[in-house]
Structure 1
Amino acid sequence: MTKVAVVKSDSYDTQIVEQAITELLAHLGGMSKYIQPGARVLVKPNMLEGVDEGKCVTTHP
């Protein structure tokens, strides 16, 4: 079974995004479950932006 985790971040502030990513990885068993020390990792967050009072959602450019 594939696990999916979603965490909402109310800001693009670096500290808030870092906290959200840490929380997200905790839901999946922690970073060390997937990544070995010294490994290179690219994290591609899917940043969304609500438009028209939440009726439409667009991917942040």
Structure 2
Amino acid sequence: MTKVAVVKADSYDPQIVGQAVTDLLAHFGGLDKFINQGDRVLLKPNMLEGVDKGLSVTTHP
């Protein structure tokens, strides 16, 4: 079974985004479960913003 997790960050503030990423990874056992010291990692967040009173969503530029 595939496991999916979604965590909302209320702003793009680096501390809020950082905490959201930490919370997200906790659903999968934490960062240490997947990454070893010295590994290179790229995170590609899918940043969205609501349009027309939340009726549609567009990818953040």
- The question of a shared fold, defined as TM-score above 0.5 by the shorter chain, is answered with yes
Over aligned residue pairs, what C-alpha RMSD do you find?
Answer: 0.6
Instruction: Name the structure 2 match of 1:50.
Output: 50
Unaligned runs of 5+ in 1: none
Structure 1 residue 25 displacement after superposition: 0.3
Instruction: Name the structure 2 match of 1:7.
Output: 7
Between the aligned partners of 2:51 and 2:10, the Cα distance in structure 1 is: 15
Instruction: Name the structure 2 match of 1:36.
Output: 36
* Identity rate, percent: 74
- Runs of 4+ in structure 1 off by over 2 angstroms are none
Structure 1 residue 39 displacement after superposition: 0.3
